[in-house]
């Protein structure tokens, strides 16, 4: 069965609010925002391929951090299909079924993806970190020859820009990226024409991304909001 994001999913208890005294003390839904670590594209993906995410937020259950920020979330692609004569949509279906903490302990998950957000496409030239790095570099004056054909080397001004870009990339790579999504997000942000549905007839729950186009590609750095049954610490 496929159900859309438009309504409450009555078949899966952890996706629907339960209005009771017990529910107010123990939420039936846990949320986590995670980031895709490598690009996934329908034209090159296959069923069975591993999916890896990095947690950008903690999952706290009963006052205890069960899945810390920085943990790895893993799953598998369950189906890929490209739009064609007998296929009305391009599909990418997958499950996310495990969290791996930094200590190596593993936590099983029953999770669906409620929202995705494309990574930011900021250029280095507009990046304030790049501006700071570039302005602090020593001025490099050429020898009067700006061409590079004879030596193959970059001119001094290009080297300066390159050094600043590398330093910016190195610094940015170690910094946490701000979350575009929040716990109320749903749907696709920055990806035109992608819909999100779920297959929930039997476990594990499957997230299905679909588009009427022939291509479907999720860039590395894509953020995802996962909703799941509250995970428990491994024993």
Q: Domain ranges in the chain?
A: 2-120+184-228, 123-138+154-176
CA 142 to chain CA mean position, Å: 43
For residue 84, what is the DSSP state? B
pLDDT tens figures, 157-204: 434 444 544 554 455 444 455 788 999 999 999 999 999 999 999 999
Q: What are phi and psi of 34, to 5 degrees?
A: -135, 165
Specify the pLDDT at position 180: 87
Q: pTM of the full predicted structure? A: 0.70
pLDDT tens per residue across span 28-80 = 899 999 999 999 999 999 999 999 999 999 999 999 999 999 999 999 999 99
Q: Which two tokens stand for residue 114?
A: 């409620």
The whole-number pLDDT of residue 70 equals: 96
Report whether pLDDT(132) > 90.
no
Could you tell me how far CA 39 lies from the centroid of its own chain?
Answer: 9
Q: Which two tokens stand for residue 62?
A: 């009963």
Residue 20 pLDDT class (50, 70, 90 cuts): very low
Output phi, psi for 214, to 5 deg.
-90, -10
Considering only residues 131 and 142, tell me which one the structure prediction assigns the higher pLDDT.
Answer: 131
Residue 235 banded pLDDT, cuts 50, 70, 90: confident
Residue 132 CB neighbour total at 10 angstroms: 13
Q: How far is the C-alpha of 35 from the C-alpha of 175, rounded, in Å?
A: 13
Identify the helix (H) or strand (E) that includes residue 171: helix 156-174
pLDDT at 79: 97
Q: Quote the distance between the C-alpha of residue 61 and its chain's center.
A: 22
Of the candidates 181, 233, 227, the one whose C-alpha atom is nearest the C-alpha of residue 29 is 227
Fold held by 2-120+184-228: Lipocalin (2.40.128)
φ, ψ at 183 (rounded to 5°): -65, -15
Quote the pLDDT of residue 120: 81
Condensed to tens digits (0 to 9), the pLDDT of residues 81-125 reads 999 988 999 999 999 999 999 999 999 999 999 999 999 875 444
Token digits of residue 6: 């438009």
């Amino acid at each position: 069965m496929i159900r859309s994001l438009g309504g409450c999913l009555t078949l899966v208890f952890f996706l629907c609010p339960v209005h009771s005294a017990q529910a107010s003390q123990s939420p039936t839904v846990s949320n986590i925002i995670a980031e895709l670590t490598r690009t996934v594209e329908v034209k090159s993906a296959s069923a069975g391929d591993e999916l890896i995410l990095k947690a950008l937020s903690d999952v706290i259950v009963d006052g205890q951090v069960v899945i810390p920020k920085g943990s790895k979330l893993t799953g598998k692609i369950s189906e890929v299909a490209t739009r064609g004569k007998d296929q009305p949509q391009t599909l990418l279906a997958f499950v996310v079924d495990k969290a791996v903490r930094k200590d190596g302990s593993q936590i099983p998950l029953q999770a669906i993806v409620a929202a995705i957000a494309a990574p930011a496409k900021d250029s280095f030239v507009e990046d304030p970190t790049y501006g700071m790095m570039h302005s602090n570099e020593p001025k490099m004056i050429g020898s009067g020859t700006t061409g590079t054909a004879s030596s193959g080397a970059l001119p001094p001004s290009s080297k300066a820009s390159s050094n600043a870009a590398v330093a910016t990339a190195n610094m940015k790579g170690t910094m946490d990226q701000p979350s575009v999504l929040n716990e109320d997000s749903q749907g696709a942000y920055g990806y035109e024409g992608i819909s999100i549905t779920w297959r929930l007839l039997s476990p594990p729950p499957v997230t299905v991304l679909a588009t009427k186009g022939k291509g479907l590609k999720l860039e590395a750095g894509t953020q995802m909001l996962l909703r799941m049954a509250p995970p428990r610490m491994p024993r």
